[in-house]
Amino acid sequence: QSALTQPPSASGSPGQSVTISCTGTSSDVGGYNYVSWYQQHPGKAPKLMIYEVTKRPSGVPDRFSGSKSGNTASLTVSGLQAEDEADYYCSSYAGSNVLFGGGTKLTVL
Amino acid sequence: EVQLLESGGTSIQSGGSLRLSCAVSGLSISTYAMSWVRQAPGKGLDWVSSLYSSGSRQYADSVKGRFTISRDNSENTLFLQMNSLRVEDTAVYYCAKDKGPNYGDQNDYWGQGTLVTVYS
């Protein structure tokens, strides 16, 4: 049950776009269309931003989008805003368990 | 309004047992997959266990045989029985509700978390 691989940090200026990757294997990310992305601000519970690779829950801005190619999923944040600064985690269903990525700290410069 | 409220976290010596509760309002937990996700201090999210609508249970290898997930449909409450606790189980434990009846990976509602500290 190895964790999914995310870059530890990412950054961008307001208005720019940033993409965060999440790499797994054919047994998790590549094998199922059940990849989710969560946003977590310090001291707060995680918030679901993307589910089933590309779907956005009600209330999540369309600046957030998800995609997948092979064993790697990606979260793109367009038109960066100050409030987007947070930790982002990917997760994937993996057959009999759920895996999380190690998290990416997104800094808005 | 959907609300999840965890309780039961405390400081406990290694080898001990603890039961966490998650009282849910605004929906029926028997309809959805419910999960426990933990976060050690300063670390990332770590999936612990999921209970599907069907009653099927899934556990992370790190807790298999020590933790048991269950629910009381009449009380609309999710539980996590934690036995043989280890120092590495120290974390904030979150209760979370999935968007669907299975999988436990797309959690759209979360509690505020309850802190479990295990000391040697």
Segment B56-100, tens digit of pLDDT: 999 999 999 999 999 999 999 999 999 999 999 999 999 999 998
Strand spans (E) along chain A = 9-12, 18-23, 35-40, 47-50, 64-69, 72-77, 86-93, 98-100, 104-108
Cβ–Cβ contact A88 with B under 8 A: no
Q: Among B46, B106, B108, select the one facing A100 at the smallest CB separation.
A: B46
- Whether chain B has a CB inside 8 Å of the CB on A39: the answer is no
CB of A40 within 8 Å of any CB in chain B? yes
DSSP-derived letter for residue A16 is: -
Rounded Cα distance, B34 and B87, in Å:
25
Among A1, A48, A96, the residue with its CB nearest the CB of B106 is A48
pLDDT digits (tens, 9 = 90+) for A63-109: 999 999 999 999 999 999 999 999 999 999 999 899 999 999 999 99
Residue among A98, A104, A105 with most chain B CBs within 10 A, to mutate: A98
Q: Which helix H or strand E contains A3, and what residues bound it?
A: none
The whole-angstrom distance between B108's CA and the closest CA on chain A is 5
pLDDT at position B103: 85
| Amino acid residing at B81 | Q
Q: Which two tokens stand for residue A25?
A: 């294997």
Total count of residues recorded for chain B: 120
- CB-based contact, A105 to chain B, within 8 Å: no
Residues of A in contact with B112 (CB under 8 A): 45
Distances from the Cα of A28 to the Cα of A24, A88, B12, angstroms: 6, 18, 35
Torsion angle of C-alpha atoms B98, B104, B105, B106, degrees rounded to 10: -10
Tell me: the pLDDT tens digits for A20-55?
Answer: 999 999 999 999 999 999 999 999 999 999 999 999
Give the Cα separation of B6 and B96 in Å (integer): 10
